[in-house]
Amino acid sequence: MASSNFICSHHIYSSCNGKIHSNSFKKASFSIPSSYKFKHASCSERGFRFSRIRATASDSKTGRKQVQVVYDIEDKFNKLADEVDKNSGMSRLTLFSPCKINVFLRITGKREDGFHDLASLFHVISLGDKIKFSLSPSKSSDRLSTNVPGVPLDDRNLIIKALNLFRKKTGTDNYFWIHLDKKVPTGAGLGGGSSNAATALWAANQFSGCVAAETELQEWSGEIGSDIPFFFSHGAAYCTGRGEIVEDILKPLPFDVPLVLIKPQEACSTAEVYKRLTLDRTSKVDPLTLLEKISRSGISQDVCINDLEPPAFEVLPSLKRLKQRLIAAGRGQYDAVFMSGSGSTIVGVGSPDPPQFIYDDDEYKDVFLSEASFITRAENQWYTEVSMEAASSPMEFSGSIE
């Protein structure tokens, strides 16, 4: 008896903890005798959008119905896909790569190695990039592409640096094709590149079967960037040293507090900002006092201190004017207005909407605008992309694995 073969796709993902999740595409096949007739003739053209097939087998001479079969196709596919995927590895992975803001940023001293000691409340927010990873057949190089011109695609990029670091530390030989869908602006003080690097380390570890613990990834990441270790926190942390000493805080900021991010086209050079920093112009407030006040009463203008604002405003005077205008125009609208990191993003806390002058003045016609919210991640899961409507919901795993 002739038969017709049908190919299906099923989503399945085996995580590092051995649980099965519905994520990856795998192929399986089964046969149906050619004398079977689908009850709905167009079903094979539309694809399998149902869980059962009703089929009949008939005598070709008499036309009499001999048997009727109800075939549970979803159950069959699930069993076949489970068999096929038992020993198959991951081939593709898409992850969300969120950025951060510094709710406060104190510079507490100058180090012998030339860096500065800082004390800062870092918090992940909902604005982020997406990064797609695919295993490469090459055993010698990674290939990176992006949707934004001007982003380096070689080992100057922190993604490539992170993948090289992972191979060096673990001895694994996986290389990747990576596409970076960039939404976080560069030179913004939002840690977009650092987040990309942390996300790449997480991805490489997933592809390798989780040969490294998260604490190891966090420790290693400090070798290529001071802000990268923070992203291996649960998303809200008190960071000291160069930023690489990360202490999770027990009470993240509420997910339903809206933010607006406003970044001029001009970027602030971090090196130039630190070059103009003088310690006698920094705040003298104990950063632990700021942390305690935020934990107790939330965000207010007096706790959102950034010691890098004065030198950044020297580098980019228009940035100081933007902050002043936001405070004046948004009086009562924002709980606080401050610069994140070394600039040039100004953050308004308490409303997702910018003041009207941002739309009316030609000076601001090219600014980057985005609403955002605070987010965190669950243990053993990476960050997920969320909408403002879902900002108050618990965070869930965002990676789709194929």
Q: Is-catalytic flag, 227?
A: yes
Strand boundaries in 65-115, DSSP class E: 65-72, 92-110
Kindly report the backbone phi and psi dihedral angles of residue 380, in degrees, each rounded to the nearest multiple of 5, phi listed first: 65, 15
Cα 283 to Cα 219, 286, 287, 310, 358, distances in angstroms: 30, 9, 10, 11, 30
Q: Find the catalytic residue in 26, 100, 161, 182.
A: 100
Q: Find the catalytic residue in 182, 227, 307, 323.
A: 227
Q: How far apart are CA 306 and CA 320, in angstroms?
A: 13
Q: Helix, strand, coil proportions of the chain in percent (round to 5)? A: 25, 30, 40
- The burial class, CB within 10 Å (0-12 / 13-18 / 19+), for 381 is middle
CB 81 within 8 A of CB 10: yes
Q: How far apart are CA 229 and CA 249, in angstroms?
A: 15
Structure tokens at 358: 């941002």
Q: How far apart are CA 368 and CA 264, in angstroms?
A: 6
Q: Is-catalytic flag, 86?
A: no
Nearest to 319 by CA among 337, 341, 345: 345
Residues belonging to the active site: 100, 227
